[in-house]
């Protein structure tokens, strides 16, 4: 993987290489659909757009800053205890995010329930810390964190969009399907709100993405 | 007793860790290629849950909750440490997994060999932390309830991963559209199984 190469010191802040770090996770190296990381908490919060967006932002913030912090102290961490150090850094950041959510968007924080805490064991974090932040300078690591957080968030928001639209006829809490439709016999698909359809939706997203990018296809 | 049995059945079939909450999906998808390895992981997860969930519950009840430290000295009665719970839980889990690993290696080398690499990996399995957090959120009251819930969730996870592995072994020679192979079909299979498990919804004993 090209992004794993160590980035030279003299790169300007927004060099093409750094830009690539931001852009690649959105499609070709998407953490959810390609690297298969962080699915645990990705699906349960996608019934509506609002919790999904809050969750995506929280994960982006935590990945970006944990990448930054680990990259800053990477030379001083003894490699035998690095997992514990990483977990502590991540847990501290998640506690901050959790307290902020409780303070400012209490209703969403109640809806996310345990899934904010589960950001700690979100594999995206450990994956990026191990694969990228431990070997790169702080700034590229920060960008990599933002990129991966956004890649994860993009999938989350896409799934939430379809589940909310088809399941309850709303987008971000606003009714979008006109009353005339319901009067003509249109019914919301209640199955979309239930857990199985999150799995199906992500399966279909992977299908579409892989038929557009044959590089990603598996040989079984 | 009836209550415990009800909770047990609920946690296996209705509140299934995989099909209802998607917890532990990462290892669920990565390790479900053969039945044998998935069984090893399933057993290991159940085992670790059985130990970590009660320990985390004890820590939460007697150290972290608001006023939980009152048994230590009356001055600490209005202390609320619950904001520390994430960090303590993950530390307890990591430490317990390490301890369990050493204990299993000493007392049952055959089980240790069978579980192999999966034991240390369990520390970052979302299902373990998930159970600890669910126990905290739903405020289970006795250690019996917590243990029952933990074992039930573990068995539910075991059931889910073994059945997915069995199906994936069977479909190895099927004609699946190229772009859907591997990960895509695994998700859709899990979705179909989740629909099947939905038929347990509302069962009460």
So what's the pLDDT on residue A94?
92
Statement: residue A76 has pLDDT above 80 = yes
Does B86 sit within 8 Å of A98, measured CB to CB?
yes
User: Global pTM?
Assistant: 0.84
Does B181 sit within 8 Å of A41, measured CB to CB?
no
pLDDT above 70 covers what percent of chain A? 92
- Within an 8 Å CB–CB cutoff, is residue A126 touching chain B? yes
So what's the pLDDT on residue A6?
47
Average pLDDT (A82-99) is 88
Predicted confidence band of residue A84 (pLDDT cuts 50, 70, 90): confident
> How crowded is the C-beta side of A108, counted as CA atoms within 13 Å?
24
Statement: residue B5 has pLDDT above 50 = yes
Average pLDDT (B101-105) is 83
- Within an 8 Å CB–CB cutoff, is residue B52 touching chain A? no
Structure tokens at B123: 């520390």
Predicted confidence band of residue B3 (pLDDT cuts 50, 70, 90): confident
- Within an 8 Å CB–CB cutoff, is residue B107 touching chain A? no
- What's the DSSP call for residue B12? I
Does A203 sit within 8 Å of B187, measured CB to CB?
yes
Instruction: Specify if A3 maps to a domain.
Output: no
Average pLDDT (A189-201) is 86
Q: What is the pLDDT of residues B131-166, one digit of tens each?
A: 998 998 888 888 999 999 999 999 999 999 999 999
Instruction: Specify if A31 maps to a domain.
Output: yes
Q: How far apart are CA A149 and CA A3, in angstroms?
A: 16
Q: What is the pLDDT of residues B32-48, one digit of tens each?
A: 888 888 888 888 889 88
Higher pLDDT, B122 or A55: A55
Instruction: Specify if A117 maps to a domain.
Output: yes
Q: Residue A84 region, left (φ>0) first, then alpha (ψ -120 to 50), else beta? A: alpha
- Which of A114, A121, A199 has its CB closest to that of B125? A121
CB A36 within 8 A of CB B29: yes
- Within an 8 Å CB–CB cutoff, is residue A84 touching chain B? yes
So what's the pLDDT on residue B111?
74
Nearest Cα neighbor of B133 from A40, A159, A81 is A40
Q: Which of B156, B184, B196 is the best substitution to test chain A (most A C-beta atoms within 10 A)? A: B184
Distance from the Cα of residue B15 to its chain's centroid: 12
So what's the pLDDT on residue B64?
84
Q: How far apart are CA B146 and CA B140, in angstroms?
A: 6
Q: How far apart are CA B146 and CA B52, in angstroms?
A: 10
So what's the pLDDT on residue A71?
92
Chain A residues lying within 8 Å of B122, measured CB to CB: none
Higher pLDDT, A173 or B60: B60
So what's the pLDDT on residue B57?
92
Statement: residue A39 has pLDDT above 70 = yes
Cα of A157 to nearest chain B Cα, Å? 17
Cα of B67 to nearest chain A Cα, Å? 19
Q: Judged by CB atoms within 8 Å, which residues 22-51 of A form the interface with B?
A: 33, 36-44
So what's the pLDDT on residue A12?
64
Cα of A133 to nearest chain B Cα, Å? 18
Does B137 sit within 8 Å of A39, measured CB to CB?
no
Q: How far apart are CA B55 and CA B93, in angstroms?
A: 9
Nearest Cα neighbor of B160 from B5, B8, B12, B7 is B12
| Pairing mode, strands A174-175 and A170-171 | antiparallel
Q: Is A72 exposed, middle or buried (0-12, 13-18, 19+ CB in 10 A)?
A: middle
So what's the pLDDT on residue B146?
94
Cα of A171 to nearest chain B Cα, Å? 23
So what's the pLDDT on residue A45?
84
Higher pLDDT, A218 or B160: B160
Instruction: Specify if A98 maps to a domain.
Output: yes
Bridge partner list, A170: A175
Statement: residue A185 has pLDDT above 50 = yes
So what's the pLDDT on residue B180?
85
Chain B residues lying within 8 Å of A41, measured CB to CB: 22, 126
So what's the pLDDT on residue A218?
73
Lowest mean pLDDT among A6-15, A114-123, B124-133: A6-15
Instruction: Specify if A94 maps to a domain.
Output: yes
Q: How far apart are CA B169 and CA B152, in angstroms?
A: 26
Instruction: Specify if A195 maps to a domain.
Output: no
Q: How far apart are CA B32 and CA A218, in angstroms?
A: 16
So what's the pLDDT on residue A2?
43
Nearest Cα neighbor of A91 from A60, A62, A71 is A62
ipTM, interface predicted TM-score of the complex: 0.81
So what's the pLDDT on residue A69?
93
So what's the pLDDT on residue A220?
53
Q: A194 to chain B: nearest residue by CA?
A: B20
Count of C-beta atoms within a 10 Å radius of residue A56: 22
Q: Judged by CB atoms within 8 Å, which residues 173-192 of A form the interface with B?
A: none
Does A200 sit within 8 Å of B188, measured CB to CB?
yes
B188-191 contacts, C-beta under 8 A, 24 or more apart? B188/A199, B188/A200, B188/A203, B188/A204, B189/B164, B190/A199, B190/B18, B190/B19, B190/B28, B190/B160, B190/B164, B191/A196, B191/A197, B191/A198, B191/A199, B191/A200, B191/A203
Residue A48 lies in domain: 24-159
The total number of structural domains in chain A stands at 1
Statement: residue A179 has pLDDT above 60 = yes
Higher pLDDT, A189 or A66: A66
Instruction: Specify if A84 maps to a domain.
Output: yes
Average pLDDT (B5-26) is 87
So what's the pLDDT on residue A4?
46
- Kindly list the distances between the CA atom of residue B16 and the CA atoms of A195, B20, B185, in Å, as whole numbers in the listed order: 11, 5, 21
Instruction: Specify if A170 maps to a domain.
Output: no
Chain A residues lying within 8 Å of B130, measured CB to CB: 40, 114, 118
Average pLDDT (A168-197) is 84
So what's the pLDDT on residue B101?
82
């Amino acid at each position: 993987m090209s992004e794993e190469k160590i980035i030279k010191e003299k790169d300007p802040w927004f060099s093409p290489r750094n830009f690539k770090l931001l852009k690649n996770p959105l499609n070709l190296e998407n953490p959810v659909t390609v690297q298969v990381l962080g699915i645990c908490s990705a699906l349960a919060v996608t019934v509506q757009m609002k919790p999904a967006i809050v969750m995506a932002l929280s994960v982006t913030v935590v990945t970006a800053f944990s990448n930054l912090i680990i990259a800053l102290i990477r030379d001083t961490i003894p490699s035998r205890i690095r997992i514990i150090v990483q977990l502590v850094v991540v847990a501290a950041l998640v506690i901050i995010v959790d307290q902020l959510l409780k303070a400012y968007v209490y209703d969403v924080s109640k809806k996310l329930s345990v899934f904010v805490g589960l950001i700690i064991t979100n594999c995206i974090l450990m994956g990026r810390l191990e694969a990228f932040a431990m070997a790169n300078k702080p700034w590229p690591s920060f960008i990599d964190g933002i990129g991966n957080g956004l890649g994860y968030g993009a999938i989350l928001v896409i799934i939430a969009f379809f589940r909310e639209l088809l399941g309850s006829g709303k987008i971000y809490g606003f009714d979008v399907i006109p009353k005339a439709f319901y009067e003509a016999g249109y019914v919301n698909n209640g199955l979309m709100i239930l857990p199985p359809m999150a799995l199906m939706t992500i399966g279909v997203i992977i299908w579409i993405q892989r038929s557009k990018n044959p590089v990603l296809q598996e040989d079984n | 007793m009836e209550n415990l049995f009800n909770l047990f059945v609920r946690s296996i079939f209705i509140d299934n860790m995989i099909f209802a909450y998607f917890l532990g999906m990462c290892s669920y998808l990565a390790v479900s290629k053969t039945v044998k390895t998935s069984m090893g992981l399933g057993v290991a997860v159940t085992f670790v849950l059985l130990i970590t969930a009660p320990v985390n519950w004890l820590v939460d009840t007697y150290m972290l909750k608001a006023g939980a430290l009152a048994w230590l000295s009356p001055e600490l009665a209005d202390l609320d440490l619950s904001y520390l719970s994430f960090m303590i839980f993950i530390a307890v889990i990591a430490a317990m997994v390490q301890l369990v690993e050493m204990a299993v290696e000493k007392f049952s080398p055959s089980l240790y060999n069978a579980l192999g690499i999966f034991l240390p990996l369990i520390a970052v399995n979302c299902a373990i932390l998930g159970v600890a957090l669910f126990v905290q959120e739903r405020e289970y009251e006795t250690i019996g309830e917590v243990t029952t819930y933990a074992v039930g969730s573990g068995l539910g996870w075991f059931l889910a991963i073994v059945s997915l592995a069995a199906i994936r072994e069977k479909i190895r020679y099927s004609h699946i559209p190229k772009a859907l192979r591997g990960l895509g079909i695994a998700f859709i299979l899990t979705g179909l199984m989740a629909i099947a498990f939905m038929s347990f919804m509302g069962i009460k004993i």
